[in-house]
Amino acid sequence: MARVSFDHVSKHFGTVRAVDDVSFDIVDGEFICLLGPSGCGKTTTLRLMAGLEQPTSGRITVDDHDVTFAKPKERDVGMVFQDYALFPHMTIAENIAYPLKVRGTAGKDRDARTLDVARSLGIEHLLERRPGQISGGQQQRTSVARAVVHKPKVFLFDEPLSNLDAKLRIEARSFLKHLQVELGVTALYVTHDQAEAMALADRIAVMEGGRVVQMGPPLDVYRKPLTTFVASFLGNPPMNLVPVRLRLDGASARLEAEGLEVDLSAMRARLAEQFRDGAGLTLGVRPEHLRLVPDVGAATLTGTVYTVEPLGPETLITCTVDGQLVTARLFGDEPPDLGHTAHFRIDESHLELFDESGVRVVR
Amino acid sequence: MRLLRLVVTRAAFYAAAALFACFFAVPLVWLLFAPFDARANLAVRLPHPFTLANFGKVFANAFAVRALFQNSIIQAGGAMLLVTLLATLAAYALSRAPIRGKDMLSYGLVLFSSIVTGTAAMVPLFLLIYSLGLIDTQLGVILVFTGGLLPAAIFIMRDFVDSIPRSYEESALVSGASAWGMFRDIALPIVRPGMMVVAVWTFVNVWGGFFVPFILLRSPANMPASVAIYSFYTEGGTPIITLTTAYSLLYTIPVLALYLFVNWRYGFRFFGGIKS
């Protein structure tokens, strides 16, 4: 258990800024997900924490101890690698016991602790096998066992679920979350899967181009994305982003695009402070906040049905609106037919606005 | 008609294959039979009369026995240990260190290696060993062979080292291992099959090497078996077949034994890769 702090940490590889001035604090026992597309610097950030890379500048502390340039073995971390990195020439028992062995734990304690951890992870029957003889899911558990066996202060995960098939992944996800809560260990988890991050994290740090763009509890980041990048990265399908023009006249304010008109007169004063009439903005709305309405009268958005995807509990309707694809998530409604016109109403309390540079407009 | 043609072509194929096999097998069979033959000559025949006296005479030659069971073992074994150790460490460094053009370096070294142990380099090598004061020492022979065989050995080892995923080593480091511990616990066991290949290959090369010890060594007490075999020649320079073959048979045994041991204990593989 530990508090971790990144203080203006940067890591450059030649001219590439893999991690660019990243700062955040992790409180004791917190589960943090670093989320972003490949090349965003999330894995490098994790490796900086593990001591596998050294920062170009900045400071990393664990419980107020400076570990910026400490070797991995001086940090007391446990790490689960994407490929699990189990040692092929060792048995599962030897793999799990390895951190204890290099720490000089006595043989008897080592065996007892190994068995203990293996039992809690449900792999005690595999101890004599080798990594090549067990399944992917079992390898993943072995890898987790090896990471926790010496009771590390910080738990590090580098996309540990990406090599599992879809069904196992969800199972392993619940299992990891349960384990982390049970152990109460501070965890830093890297993933490019937003659903994984949403499900696991106490807080998500969304990264782009080596920087942390937004950090906060999953639902906050989901509901109030700070930029269009975050908005388009979280959620499946992601937030709809439609370019619109702002119309300010008299006492009214409207957002306009072809097939779309939203009345924002209630916040005219705020908008008029920041923007001029005719300003180009981006409207953001989550698929679940579009409601199918029967006729154009009540509609704020009208489009032609492009695809209909029934997923069981919900149906995704994608329409073309002014050349853009807009997706709505419907529960129970009878979906419109392909090629027909569909009318939607946008729930205004869940509508987000982004300015020209893609930054969220505070309302 | 078609059947006949099939039979004829088959028969011709087997005849050709048998002839080809004989070409390689006959000298080996001869080496197996001649030492036990009291009147051996260049003909391949069952030993008649059968005798072990040839071996008795070979063992009576103290110079040759010492050459085979001491000097050859020291020289081949010494070079084997040195080459295997250095090649493993060098291959590891070449594989992991961010050196630009390291592939070119590896290929270049392999090309050079064939030159170093070659005849052309013998004069400079002799001068080098002379100025190091290592003429007529086993160490001199070991060093020359090591220098000559190392590049190719590094080349072989690199393939094995390259096949170890970095994450294995990083995982060991994060588990708390030191750099040396990581190398010893993870990298070394995984590349061991490669080390065995290099070890046996080096041993065989030095074991059979004639020219380098012949030039660099002076005193009979230091000569390896490849040179000492000339003590079974008549003064006129013709080999005494009974004795040279007996000695040659003894000469092959350590190599065979080493190969069989390594194959039994570790298995031979000439490529990298993780066997799990």
Better-scored residue on pLDDT, B198 or A295: B198
Interface residue A132 vs chain B (CB under 8 A): yes
Q: How far is CA B44 from CA A73, B18, B30, in A?
A: 67, 17, 5
B191 in any annotated domain:
yes
Candidates B256, B207, B189, B231; CA nearest to B57 is: B231
Neighbours of A349 (CB within 10 A): 7
Alpha-carbon distance B121 to A264, whole Å?
A: 89
How large is the average pLDDT for residues B178-184? 91
Q: In a 3-state reduction of DSSP, which class is residue A5?
A: strand
The pairing of beta strand A57-62 with beta strand A77-80: unpaired
pLDDT confidence of residue A40: 92
How large is the average pLDDT for residues B62-82? 94
Give the end-to-end CA distance of chain A in Å, rounded to a whole number: 39
- Tell me the domain boundaries of chain A: 4-225, 240-354
pLDDT confidence of residue B276: 40
Nearest-Cα distance to chain B for A20, in Å, is: 23
Q: Which of A133-147, A171-185, B176-190, B245-259 has the lowest mean pLDDT?
A: A171-185
B275 in any annotated domain:
no
Contact A87 B275 (CB under 8 A): no
Alpha-carbon torsion, ordered A19, A20, A23, A26, to 10 deg: -20
Q: What residues 230-259 of chain A have any CB closer than 8 A to a CB of chain B?
A: none
pLDDT confidence of residue A363: 67
Can you point out the beta strands (E) in A209-323? 211-216, 240-249, 252-257, 260-263, 280-285, 290-293, 301-310, 315-321
How large is the average pLDDT for residues B136-157? 91
B276 CB neighbours in chain A (<8 A) are 88, 130-133
| Burial class of residue A107, CB neighbours in 10 A (0-12, 13-18, 19+) | exposed
Alpha-carbon distance B106 to A265, whole Å?
A: 73
How large is the average pLDDT for residues B244-251? 93
Do residues A41 and A222 touch, judged by C-beta distance below 8 A? no
B16 in any annotated domain:
no
The pairing of beta strand A301-310 with beta strand A315-321: antiparallel
How large is the average pLDDT for residues B216-245? 90
**Reported confidence tier of residue B65, pLDDT bands at 50, 70, 90:** very high
Q: How far is CA A252 from CA A249, A258, A274, A300, in A?
A: 6, 19, 15, 16
Do residues A60 and A68 touch, judged by C-beta distance below 8 A? yes
Do residues B64 and B231 touch, judged by C-beta distance below 8 A? yes
Nearest neighbour of B176 by CB, restricted to A88, A102, A131: A102
pLDDT confidence of residue B80: 96
Do residues A288 and A329 touch, judged by C-beta distance below 8 A? yes
- Percent of chain B, pLDDT > 90? 58
For every residue of A62-96, DSSP letters joined together read ETTEE-TT--GGGT-EEEE-TT----TTS-HHHHH
Nearest neighbour of B175 by CB, restricted to A83, A133, A146: A146
Q: Which residues of chain A have pLDDT under 50?
A: none
How large is the average pLDDT for residues B172-184? 92
Number of H helices, E strands in chain A: 9, 20
Candidates A355, A210, A211, A98; CA nearest to B181 is: A98
What's the predicted TM-score (pTM) here? 0.81
pLDDT confidence of residue A53: 93
Interface test with B, best of A81, A84, A95, A138 (most B CBs within 10 A): A81
pLDDT confidence of residue B275: 46
Nearest neighbour of B190 by CB, restricted to A77, A89, A98: A89
pLDDT confidence of residue A96: 94
Nearest-Cα distance to chain A for B202, in Å, is: 26
Average pLDDT score over chain A: 90
From chain B, which residues contact A within 8 Å (Cβ)? Answer: 165, 167-168, 170-178, 181, 185-186, 189-190, 274-276
Nearest-Cα distance to chain A for B276, in Å, is: 5
Q: In a 3-state reduction of DSSP, which class is residue A187?
A: strand
Whichever domain contains B61, its CATH number is 1.10.3720.10
Structure tokens at A240: 């709809």
CATH architecture of structural domain A240-354 = Beta Barrel (2.40)
Nearest neighbour of A98 by CB, restricted to B175, B178, B189: B175
Interface residue A51 vs chain B (CB under 8 A): yes
Nearest neighbour of A132 by CB, restricted to B177, B181, B276: B276
Interface test with B, best of A83, A98, A117 (most B CBs within 10 A): A98
Nearest neighbour of A99 by CB, restricted to B176, B190, B276: B176
B165 in any annotated domain:
yes
Alpha-carbon distance B177 to A71, whole Å?
A: 10
B168 CB neighbours in chain A (<8 A) are 85, 87
Q: Could you check whether the bond before residue B49 is cis, i.e. omega within 30 degrees of 0? A: yes
Q: Vertex A192, ends A190 and A197: CA angle to 5°?
A: 65
Residue B68 DSSP one-character state = I
pLDDT confidence of residue B144: 92
Neighbours of A259 (CB within 10 A): 22
Angle, to 10 degrees, between the axis of helix A136-148 and the axis of helix A107-120? 130
CATH topology of domain A4-225: Rossmann fold (3.40.50)
Alpha-carbon distance B230 to A297, whole Å?
A: 111
B190 CB neighbours in chain A (<8 A) are 88-89
Structure tokens at B64: 């040759």
Q: How far is CA A216 from CA A60, A157, A186, A205, B157, in A?
A: 20, 19, 16, 7, 49
Candidates A154, A55, A102; CA nearest to B178 is: A102
Residue A264 DSSP one-character state = -
In chain B, the number of structural domains is 1
How large is the average pLDDT for residues B167-181? 92
Interface residue A77 vs chain B (CB under 8 A): yes
Nearest-Cα distance to chain B for A99, in Å, is: 5
pLDDT confidence of residue B103: 80
Interface test with A, best of B168, B169, B175 (most A CBs within 10 A): B175
Alpha-carbon distance B38 to B243, whole Å?
A: 10
B36 in any annotated domain:
no
Interface residue A13 vs chain B (CB under 8 A): no
**Reported confidence tier of residue B273, pLDDT bands at 50, 70, 90:** low
pLDDT confidence of residue A174: 87
Contact B181 A102 (CB under 8 A): yes
Does the structure's ipTM exceed the value 0.90?
no
Place of tokens 């071996």: B55
Q: Check pLDDT > 70 for residue B271.
A: no
Instruction: Note down the domain range covering B128.
Output: 53-265
Q: Check pLDDT > 80 for residue B112.
A: no
Contact A81 B186 (CB under 8 A): no
Interface residue A72 vs chain B (CB under 8 A): yes
Place of tokens 């050709």: B16
B173 CB neighbours in chain A (<8 A) are 51-52, 71-73
Nearest-Cα distance to chain A for B84, in Å, is: 21
A81 CB neighbours in chain B (<8 A) are 167, 170-171
Candidates B183, B13, B154, B23; CA nearest to B86 is: B154
Nearest-Cα distance to chain A for B186, in Å, is: 7
Q: Check pLDDT > 80 for residue B126.
A: yes
A51 CB neighbours in chain B (<8 A) are 173-174
Determine which helix (DSSP H) or strand (DSSP E) holds B183, and give its type and residue range: none
Q: How far is CA A76 from CA A50, A155, A270, B176, B177, in A?
A: 9, 9, 51, 7, 11
- pLDDT tens digits for range A167-182: 888 888 888 888 888 8
List, in sequence order, every residue forming a beta bridge with B18; answer none if it has no partner: none
Nearest neighbour of A130 by CB, restricted to B177, B181, B276: B276
Nearest neighbour of B175 by CB, restricted to A83, A99, A130: A99
Do residues B29 and B44 touch, judged by C-beta distance below 8 A? yes
Neighbours of A154 (CB within 10 A): 23
- In sequence order, the 6+-apart residues with CB closer than 8 A to the CB of A328 are A287, A290, A291, A292, A316, A317, A318, A319, A342, A344
CB pairs under 8 A between A and B: 68
| Burial class of residue A239, CB neighbours in 10 A (0-12, 13-18, 19+) | buried
Question: Looking at chain A, which residue has its C-alpha nearest residue B189?
Answer: A89
